[in-house]
A and B are shown apart, each in its own frame.
Chain A
Amino acid sequence: MSIAPAKPDLVTVNIDGKEIAVPKGTNVIEAARLVNVDVPHFCYHPKLTVAGNCRMCLVEMGMPAVDPATKAPIMDPASGKPKINWIPRPQIGCGTNVSPGMHIRTTSQMVKDAREGVMEFLLINHPLDCPICDQAGECMLQEQATGYGRGYSRFIEQKNVKPKRTQLGPRVMLDDERCILCSRCIRFSKEIAKDDVLGFIDRGSYSTLTCYPGKELKNNYSLNTVDICPVGALTSTDFRFKMRVWFLKQTNSIDPESSVGANTVVWSREGVIYRITPRRNDAVNDTWMTDSGRALYKAVQAPDRLTAAKVDGTDSTVDMAVNAAKGIFTANAGAIAVVGSGRSSVEEQYLTKQLAAALKAGTHLVSRVGEGDKLLLSADRNPNVRGALVTGLIAALPSAQLSALGAAIDAGQVKAVVSVGEDLAAAGLTAAQLAKVAIVYLGTHANATSAAAKVVIPTLHPFEKNGAFVNQQFRLQKFLKAVPGPVGATDDLAVLARLVTAAGGSAPADHAGVWSALAAAVPALAGVAFAKIPDTGLALDAAPYAALPFVEGETLHFKPVAAK
């Protein structure tokens, strides 16, 4: 299946007495990480160019001594090991790549002094307003001051005064006094977001981060600057002053806004989501995500959430709703269509397929196509169209409009429609067409379809359930339940299983059961267990689908297969 990567050139280095072989081109910080040695740093970020300006990652470095004439290594007679020529001044770990035989010391007096010096310098003009700072609890300055600082201050002068509240853009607020001038946000804007709007003005300790005149930090990736800001200088206008981060529970999730499937963390407390941040996956999204993907949690508590089952417009119970659906299935046998969704999880799509099979109904999928931004928002705004292919819910790519279904309704061939979370009106069906058919609607939010439906059963938002998506790279990625669903909403799998039963078939009703069935029935998922899917996903074989004309263009870590 997967091809083993070519073995990179390895370089053996010695870090604090531990030998390790690391790929050529690795820097000292990353090499030290591999032997569990922490090299503290602020400006270095693994996904940005090296600036080398914070000077926190200073380490002591040495190279084996060689005889100038013979080039043979000089041995230390006492230890029998090569003699090391230690460089008398500390070197930066971020900007120094490993070389054969390199020795690194991170615990020597020289390194300790250097770190204490840098920490003291960083703190003298820092406001030390941790009690009111949103970054507290996840602040690199706080952590490293504790870990590597002296613990007292010799500074009795006046601190520098800088702007405290600069709105850099609609979603990002800047406190310049907290800024340690690491330039991460500047490099991110220039290198990743390709929106070079940030820079420093003034000089020396009075340097001030600001937007270029007439510009705003308003691109769809602006909140990544808040994530990578090592201090509380950049804060999210949405999140600031809302919650202390140490109270928040972190749940791994997936950004459901497009087929990129950016890995995320959902931060919640007591059933309420406060923010969404990216989770590192070097094969998918590095450490970034869109601003739009972060705002999706707001839908969870939206006032138009469906919270009660309805039959013919009146509140009901799920039992009665399933019974009513059963009546619709019986009355319209042979004239039923199932509209599945590219937003459903793999598990739900599998049960949707079972439902269609039990009803002997045709299946449709709604396509959502937008403009790709070439980064982390792809043209396919469904997170899981490939899941529908893998599970066999569909065999061909969906079309933008449900015109075939509309024609079938007009012709009287379809008299009932089961919609799994899709707003049929938004997908192109007219109000007249909706009125002609009996609709069974499973969904999270009220819309024209839920209003027109005979049977409505509220279900869960992705942040409220476990599931998996298959992204544009055919990477199976799981998301976990961060918060419980609202009272009145039922798990999608349970609802679908009951509908399958109502339609005369049988299907597992719980998540584990669905996965047993998936592993048995879907060749691509043979042997896959949900719990065993790595946090960074599992690459599936894309070869069977290589000929399909997928809509995605190039994005970060994804190149479309050339059209054949």
Chain B
Amino acid sequence: MPAPEQRRIIFKHIDEPGYSNDLACYVKHGGYEILKKAVTRKPEELIDEVKKSGLRGRGGAGFPCGVKWGLVDRKSGKPIYLIVNADESEPGTFKDRYIIHQDPHQLIEGTMISCFANNVKQAYIYIRGEFPHGARILEKAIQEARDAGFVGKNICGTGYSCDIFVHRGAGAYICGEETGLIESLEGKRANPRIKPPYFPAVLGLYQCPTIVNNVETLCHVKYIAEVGGEAFAKIGTPNNTGTRIFCVSGHVQRPGYYEFPCGTITLGQLLNDVCGGPLPGRKFKAVIPGGSSAKILKFGERFKGKRKVGADMVDYDWGVEDVPMDFDSLGMIGTMGGSGGVIVMDDSVNMVEALANINAFYSHESCGQCTPCREGSLWMKKITTRMVHGQARTEDAALLKGVADQIPGRTICAFGEACSWPTQSFLAKFGDEFQGYAAAKPTKPAPAVPLI
């Protein structure tokens, strides 16, 4: 079955010749018209539209956006803050950067609609420190929008005021975790907070109710405000509505970003038809479907079970290529849609070395606050680094799994899962490669395999 056509909603103008990131170009393409209409509606109506749309967060967890907004404590009398999570740090993910660089006003419009819907008077865009160019673009775009009356005081002449500030991070993956982000925004070390009691919806930024949404999510909100929640819910598949942007990287002919209605394309169609298949003379070996912390899939493995289609339960028997790229299907087969970063590995890749790179990343990014993640991530890194540097032991496979199993579910934030799932899944699916690494790769000097 050939792959369906791309449907570009969020990435409509990305890489469009002649399209620039200034206000004039955005307005020429109908920009800020939706905001102008939205501010004439009742905020509750907009929240209802988002609830009806079934929009799920695009940052990684896939939490329903309408539910998140519904949890916000609106009775405390405290101000409500909205934070745009632009700390796009998950390895393999590069969708938010394109929005920020090429279509910043789309984000600003989506943000302002969301702010109006939630009676937010102050919004922050928390952008990762490695995006200095993006931060400058956003600042310029916000100023343009402010000058045009779309941001700041008395928006579109309605009397509603809300400003946006750009805050630059200092280069830490953990700042993408929403409570870590809030701590960082408050000027502290980005140590994620314990939940309970510090749920952002109740005790977020400055202990006030706070909404933290991903860049892409807020762009979807803009589209929902335009077409309505019900129309949006018709895109994609039930419970997996709207489009998804896939950032494909690694060993395919045409890596890049692709936007499809959620669940309408399978992994095989995406990799073979859209991305052109493996490099010449190579075969796909493995793929991580949702950013580097998602559990890896091994080409050749099969997934069986029952799933809900409409009102019926239907048997499924999928190979990796047959899995529809939506939150629920990927969740069913034990991995996740995550942030949409699809990392492809072909048969030239040694899985021990691939995991060594991933472990190096996560041990470097653990905030160090809670014990299992702090010690476990570095330990796993030390083991895999030692293995690729020529001192692998057959018992290291079991040890790695033993260490990884002691981390998830026991940490303050989801980083525990993020750092242990790769090791757990690599070991579960490529365990023989780990056990046999010592024999397959005879002793070699430390610089032989440079790690990141």
Contacts and interface: CB of A to CB of B under 8 A. Distances in A.
Interface of A: 50-56, 58, 88-90, 92, 95-96, 113-114, 116-118, 120-122, 124-125, 154-155, 157-158, 160, 180-181, 199-200, 202-207
Contacts of A117: 372, 406-407, 410
A121 B371 contact: yes
B61 to A, nearest CB: 16
Contacts of A200: 189, 368
Given A116-B406, A157-B383, 16 more contacts: A52-B194, A52-B412, A90-B410, A92-B194, A95-B196, A113-B406, A121-B376, A122-B371, A125-B378, A181-B374, A203-B172, A203-B366, A204-B366, A204-B374, A206-B368, A207-B374
Contacts of B276: none
A204 B378 CA distance: 8
A121 B412 contact: no
A200 B190 CA distance: 12
A53 B371 contact: yes
A122 B407 CA distance: 13
Given A121-B376, A124-B379, A204 B411 contact: no
Nearest to A110: B409
Contact of B399 (A118, A125, A154): A154
B386 interface: yes
A158 B406 contact: no
Contacts of A89: 409-410
12 contacts: A52-B194, A53-B370, A53-B371, A54-B371, A95-B194, A96-B196, A118-B371, A181-B368, A203-B367, A204-B364, A204-B367, A205-B378
The number of chain B residues touching the other chain, given as a range, is 20 to 34
B303 to A, nearest CB: 22
B433 interface: no
Contact of B406 (A52, A56, A120, A206): A120
A205 B410 contact: no
B425 interface: no
A124 B375 contact: yes
A156 to B, nearest CB: 8
B180 to A, nearest CB: 12
A43 to B, nearest CB: 9
B376 A53 contact: no
A204 B194 contact: no
Contact of B375 (A58, A114, A125, A202): A125
A205 B363 contact: yes
Contacts of A204: 363-368, 374, 377-378
B331 interface: no
A111 B410 CA distance: 10
Nearest to A119: B371
Interface in B332-381: 363-372, 374-379
Given A157-B383, A158-B382, A200-B189, A53 B402 contact: no
Contacts of A54: 370-371
A218 to B, nearest CB: 24
Question: Sorted from nearest, which 10 A-B pairs have the closest CB atoms?
Answer: A117-B406, A121-B375, A207-B368, A89-B409, A157-B382, A204-B366, A52-B194, A205-B378, A204-B368, A53-B370
A157 B369 CA distance: 22
A122 B363 CA distance: 16
B372 A205 contact: no
Contacts of B407: 117
Interface string B384-407: 001000000000000100110011
Nearest to B173: A203
A88 B386 CA distance: 34
A114 B370 CA distance: 13
Given A96-B196, A117-B406, A55 B370 contact: yes
Contacts of A199: 189
A55 B410 contact: yes
Contact of A155 (B197, B379, B406): B379
Contacts of B367: 203-204
A181 B189 CA distance: 14
B199 to A, nearest CB: 13
Q: Interface centre among A50, A55, A124, A207, by most B CB within 10 Å?
A: A55
Nearest to A114: B410
A182 B278 CA distance: 48
A50 B197 CA distance: 10
A90 B409 contact: yes
Nearest to A203: B368
B412 A53 contact: yes
A88, A124, A200, A204 — most chain B CB neighbours (10 Å): A204
Nearest to B383: A157
A157 B368 contact: no
A118 B379 contact: no
Contacts of A96: 196
Contact of B374 (A52, A58, A205): A205
